[in-house]
């Protein structure tokens, strides 16, 4: 299983908490993490302050050499598809093919209103945008994208959401389905639903990887915010319980875990070291 982390804590309150994201990303690379990821909200709100994910990951790309770069997730209907396809292709090319575009339809009606994009119909528009982005990456039709991606056919696409429409979208357009806060039982249920929907969509669901964003408070650390849902390993997690749950997720088909660490910003380096020492080293040996 590949394990990645966000380069800042979950839901930071202040912009100053983002000032060390590059140092955190470099440290994550040094510690052997697979990827760093960034979510995207254009306006501050219940989830705190949020940097632009593509700008953040472009800066990380310039400061690192190996580590993967993932949006988890970018709210696709808020973007012009041609501009986004160009930005993603540029990031994929300049990073040496390290970029993965994780997308979702979003949930924040106030954000949609602030951007001036209708909330209704966002699923249909997402499907249309993914069709267009994929075509632009392949260099098909007109206009030709300003720069084509380094990765043939474009960077990998992870598609979030748990509705049937989202799962169909993942089968039609995705390299992976990207869940949030799932346990092994829920993941098994998603795989069963994908198996059912695969015939309808006309794609072998076994071709679709399973990935997820998960929430982890390492043992000995205090949550800085209320953890949404059940944290990895349980409320009173131990190294053994976290490894056990990740093992069960792996057995259920999860290939990549993106860990949100809801600890205080000043404790983030120590939390990263715990993840590397207790999780990365364990799962890299399997």
The pTM for the full model equals 0.97
Going from N- to C-terminal start, the domains of the chain cover 2-283
Tell me whether residue 207 is exposed, middle or buried, using C-beta atoms within 10 angstroms of its C-beta: 0 to 12, 13 to 18, 19 or more.
Answer: exposed
Q: How many CA atoms lie within 13 A of 220 on its CB side?
A: 9
- What is the structure's pLDDT at 285? 64
Q: Which residues contact 266 (CB under 8 A, 6 or more apart)?
A: none
- The tens place of each residue's pLDDT in the chain, 286 residues long, gives 999 999 999 999 999 999 999 999 999 999 999 999 999 889 998 889 999 999 999 999 999 999 999 999 999 999 999 999 999 999 999 999 999 999 999 999 999 999 999 999 999 999 999 999 999 999 998 999 999 999 999 999 999 999 999 999 999 999 999 999 999 999 999 999 999 999 999 999 999 999 999 999 999 999 999 999 889 999 899 999 999 999 999 999 999 999 999 999 999 999 999 999 999 999 976 6
- What is the structure's pLDDT at 46? 85
CATH number of 2-283: 3.20.20.30
Q: Which residues contact 121 (CB under 8 A, 6 or more apart)?
A: none
Q: Which residues contact 29 (CB under 8 A, 6 or more apart)?
A: 64, 65, 66, 67
Helix (H) or strand (E) segment spanning residue 112: helix 109-115
CA 217-223-228 angle, 5° bins: 80
Contact between 85 and 133 (Cβ < 8 Å):
yes
Nearest CA to 76 out of 152, 134, 142 is that of: 134
Q: What is d(CA 286, CA 284) in angstroms, rounded to the nearest whole number?
A: 6
- What is the structure's pLDDT at 141? 86
Contact between 178 and 212 (Cβ < 8 Å):
yes
- What is the structure's pLDDT at 86? 98
Q: What is d(CA 126, CA 140) in angstroms, rounded to the nearest whole number?
A: 19
């Amino acid at each position: 299983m590949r394990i990645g982390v966000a380069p800042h804590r979950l839901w930071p309150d202040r912009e100053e908490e983002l000032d060390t994201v590059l140092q955190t990303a470099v440290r994550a690379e040094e510690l052997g993490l697979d990827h760093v990821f960034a979510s995207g909200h254009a306006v501050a709100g219940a989830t705190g302050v949020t940097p632009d994910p593509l700008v953040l990951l472009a800066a990380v790309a310039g400061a690192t050499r190996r580590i993967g770069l993932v949006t988890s997730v970018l709210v696709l209907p808020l973007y012009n598809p041609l501009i986004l396809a160009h930005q993603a292709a540029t990031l994929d090319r300049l990073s040496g093919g390290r970029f993965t575009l994780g997308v979702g339809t979003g949930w924040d009606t106030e954000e949609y209103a602030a951007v001036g994009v209708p909330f209704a119909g966002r699923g249909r528009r997402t499907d249309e945008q993914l069709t267009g982005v994929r075509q632009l990456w392949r260099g098909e039709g007109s206009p030709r994208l300003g720069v084509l991606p380094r990765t043939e056919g474009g960077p990998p696409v992870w598609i979030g959401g748990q509705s049937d429409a989202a799962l169909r979208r993942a089968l039609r357009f995705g390299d992976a389905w990207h869940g949030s806060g799932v346990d092994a039982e829920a993941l098994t249920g998603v795989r069963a639903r994908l198996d059912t929907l695969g015939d309808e969509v006309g794609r072998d669901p076994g071709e679709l990887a399973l990935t997820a964003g998960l929430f982890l408070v390492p043992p000995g650390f205090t949550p800085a915010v209320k953890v949404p849902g059940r944290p990895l390993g349980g409320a009173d997690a131990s190294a053994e319980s976290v490894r056990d749950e990740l093992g069960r997720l792996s057995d259920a088909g999860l290939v990549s875990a993106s860990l949100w660490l809801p600890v205080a910003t000043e404790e983030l380096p120590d939390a990263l070291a715990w993840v590397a020492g207790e999780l990365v080293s364990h799962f890299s040996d399997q």
